[in-house]
Amino acid sequence: MKPSLTLLSALIFSQAAFGAAKNYDDGLFSPFSDLSALSATEYTTLRHPVFPKHSVRVKRTTDWCDTTVGAYTGYIDVEAKHFFFYFFESRNDPSNDDVIFWTNGGPGCSSSLGLFMELGPCRITDGNGTKFHQQSWNSNANIFFIDQPVGVGFSYAEYGEHVSTTEEAAEDIASFVYVFFEHFTQFKGRPFHLAGESYAGRYLPVFAAYIYDQNKKLEKAGVAPINLTSVMIGNGYTHFPSMVESYYDMSCTSASVAPRLGVRDCVRMKQAQIRCKEWLKKSCVDVFDEFGCQAAESFCNSELSEPLESSGWNPYDISRKCDGSVETTLCYPVTKHISHYLDRPEVRNLIGVDPVLSSHNFSSCSNRVSTDFIYKLDSLQLSHHYVASLLEHGVRVLVYVGVNDWICNHVGNLKWVLDLDWSGKEGFARQHDAIWGPPKPKLEEEEMSRPTRSPKHGGFGKYRSYGGLTFATINDAGHMVPWDQPDASLVLLENWLAKKASW
């Protein structure tokens, strides 16, 4: 989750937690081709000769979240950096189904938001713990959630180690993915999909590029390549100039809902939009001028972002007012329930959180990580060229957007997708939007803190597709599509995994 443009300008493992951990120097093949062989009471530590600086600590986590499938939690350790992850097997056919990697955005937000609020196998909607989520993305796929970059959620570092750019994070994630597949050989060769939302629109194209390029190096070392199949970007922050320009359209036209700002504000914003478009292109896109780009972003943020952000409307769903504050709840009080749940000592012990974090309260988003990325100007970098190159190399890309999101909206996302310079550009532009659906029969809904809104426009949204690129919108959904429209979210995923030519 990307808190807002305004906010953006914003130990060694203790084995005592589970007893002495089992250690394996496993050569090229993991002893755990079947994850069920893992211990539920202590970590198993795995190493690999191709990755001498990396190891895996993992355990089965039983009677928790989704008792119908295998659940596993642990850390992948990269020297002094320790990345926490949750892994859930598919409810359908774990031995054959695809594998999905999910990360939230921020930069600096924990993927526990995706797990417990959006698309995971259980949800936390109040103070009573987890509830089974019928429309989880593990309905037909194996999925893991990772707290990254280091310093986010339950991931931590020693000796002042930190990550402050997407490219630095990509090196760790590429290693994470390879180590995972090498140790858990039952998933080798499966179609592998990188998915996430918001600032993940910046992360994922870079992560995918690192994984793709590292495949060639690892093949020479006798390591099986990752079957990188697709990238799925939800309400992404991929090309920030397009997004900044679109804030006028989302605030002052009926691009989504009725205009949210008054006439005088909108006239000023329109005048600023023209200047911003020219300034951002000159200083941030054509040539990256550090000082010029920072000045342009500051001006455009003040003129195009702050009016809506100070209006009381929810920047993640402008069909409604913010519930609470962005700073404390991200406009969704459920985030506080998630934090309180993950602060329970018995929960931390169950999922294997390192005891070194026992004195630290859980935070959905890390201000320190966000600040580090801002300081290095990472949020002003562009990831669309990575998308174009991935498409040329045969990696499919899905860009999906809830139409009520303001912060990473459909207007700005469609603009950069249409402008993307790749061999399929003209073919994609010639495609007409089509309604996707009709929706599947509605699944039994879990008890939720508020009723799910039903789409009113016929079908779940619109889409267009050409070559390996698909752009889809989801009606009556905001920034967190699976939270607002869990049925549509699951159908979207299943259509994508099935490679359907028509939705």
Residues acting as catalytic residues: 198, 405, 479
Phi, psi of 296 (to 5 degrees): -65, -45
What residue ranges in 310-361 does DSSP mark as E strands? 313-314, 317-321
Phi and psi (nearest 5°) for 98? -65, 165
The C-alpha atoms of residue 265 and residue 305 are separated, in whole angstroms, by 11
**107 upstream amide cis, omega within 30 of 0:** yes
**CA separation, residue 163 to residues 84, 110, 249, 378 (Å):** 15, 15, 34, 11
Distance (Å) of CA 309 to CA 218, 321, 438, 476:
46, 11, 35, 20
| Amino acid found at 167 | E
Strand partners, 22: 44
Sign of the dihedral defined by the CA atoms of residues 5, 379, 231, 430, in that order: positive
End-to-end alpha carbon distance in the chain? 27
Vertex 231 angle, CA 137 and 55, to 5°: 80
Cα–Cα distance, 103 to 109 (Å, whole number): 9
Cis upstream peptide for 451 (omega within 30°):
no
